[in-house]
């Protein structure tokens, strides 16, 4: 195993990606340079994040009020975020024909905003909402307009926004917030993302496995691989003999399966990689 940020590890990364057929698995660490904090990496360790669970969301009107108030504020930051040099480098490597598949654990849409194509959003996307009754999907921007209209004069702000768009608000800020339901059938609305305690749809999981199984190499970017949702793809690659390279700040749950570990900031590392390979 090659490890570190030495010239040798960067050279090994260059050689691995230069061969093409690379599948990318990205996590929250790729988006921190866009101003979106992660849960477990350097920007997330100082916060105690308690994300909403699917069971709490379904079971309590109070929990839904709290979630949508916090998410309404958080969406302002997520919606304004722009791709950083890491996202742009991944898109450039894809255009150059070296990256053949992208699976992201992120819900921020920044891969697509950077120009990447056919991105599989493992955990869904915050730019959409879904009705739990009629299953109709609608743009988050439409819900944002409806929530603003339903809450005139409500102007809560927060300095702490989690990677799923959940802003930290006080009970007093949440208390007066009014939730809106599906405009088509009156059912409960939920962001089109996979909550903790909810399963990723099986067809989507199989699609991700197929990307990994077709790959010549798997490149993990900014994921702690602390939960099985992403780690299973690393394990599948390793079981098939597909070399795994991990670029992340800090150790990950997949390090034992990796052929190459690069502990370094994502933006500068990936932009340098794309430049060396003639993709930028």
pLDDT at 166: 82
> Tokens 């599906």 label which residue?
182
Nearest residue to 264 (alpha-carbon basis) of 243, 274, 249:
249
pLDDT at 33: 96
Q: Which of 72, 87, 111, 123 is catalytic?
A: 123
In this prediction the pTM is: 0.91
User: What are the structural domain ranges in the chain?
Assistant: 1-36+83-123+199-280, 48-80+126-193
Query: What is the rounded end-to-end Cα distance, in angstroms, of the chain?
Result: 28
Q: How far is Cα 193 from Cα 206, in angstroms, rounded to an integer?
A: 17
- Are the CB atoms for 87 and 114 separated by under 8 Å? yes
Binding residues for NAD(+): 105-108, 222-224, 248-250, 266
Binding residues for Zn(2+): 131, 134, 182, 185
pLDDT at 1: 64
Q: How far is Cα 152 from Cα 148, in angstroms, rounded to an integer?
A: 6
List pLDDT tens digits, range 194-218: 998 899 999 999 999 999 999 999 9
Residue 123 falls in the annotated catalytic set: yes
CA distances from 40 to 48, 102, 103, 200 (A): 10, 22, 19, 21
- Whole-number mean pLDDT of the chain? 92
List pLDDT tens digits, range 263-277: 999 999 999 999 999
List pLDDT tens digits, range 28-87: 999 999 998 876 554 444 444 567 899 999 999 999 999 999 999 989 888 889 999 999
List pLDDT tens digits, range 100-142: 999 999 999 999 999 999 999 999 999 999 999 999 999 999 9
Binding residues: 105-108, 131, 134, 182, 185, 222-224, 248-250, 266
1-36+83-123+199-280 has CATH 3.40.50.1220 classification: yes
List pLDDT tens digits, range 144-160: 999 999 999 898 887 77
pLDDT at 48: 47
């Amino acid at each position: 195993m090659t490890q570190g940020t030495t010239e040798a590890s960067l050279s090994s990364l260059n050689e691995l990606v230069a061969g093409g057929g690379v599948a990318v698995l990205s996590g929250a660490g790729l988006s921190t340079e866009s101003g979106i904090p992660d849960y477990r990496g350097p920007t997330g360790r100082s916060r105690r994040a308690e994300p909403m669970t699917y069971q709490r969301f379904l079971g309590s009107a109070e929990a839904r009020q709290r979630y949508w108030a916090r998410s309404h504020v958080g969406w302002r930051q997520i919606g304004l975020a722009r791709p950083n040099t890491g996202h742009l480098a991944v898109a450039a490597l894809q255009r150059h024909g070296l990256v053949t598949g992208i699976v992201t654990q992120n819900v921020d849409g920044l891969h697509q905003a950077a120009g990447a194509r056919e991105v599989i959003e493992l955990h869904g996307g915050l730019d959409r909402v879904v009705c739990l009754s009629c299953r109709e999907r609608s743009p988050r921007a439409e819900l944002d307009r409806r929530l603003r209209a339903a809450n005139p004069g409500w102007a809560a702000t927060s300095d702490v926004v989690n990677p799923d768009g959940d802003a930290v608000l006080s009970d007093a800020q949440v208390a007066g917030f009014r939730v809106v339901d599906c405009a088509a059938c009156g059912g409960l609305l939920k962001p089109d993302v996979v909550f903790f305690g909810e399963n990723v749809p099986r067809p989507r999981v199989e699609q991700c496995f197929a990307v990994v199984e077709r790959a010549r190499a798997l490149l993990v970017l900014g994921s702690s691989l602390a939960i099985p949702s992403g780690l299973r793809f690393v394990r599948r690659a390793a079981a098939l003999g597909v070399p795994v390279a991990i670029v992340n700040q800090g150790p990950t749950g997949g390090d034992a399966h990796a052929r190459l570990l690069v502990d370094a900031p994502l933006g500068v590392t990936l932009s340098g990689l794309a430049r060396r390979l003639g993709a930028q």
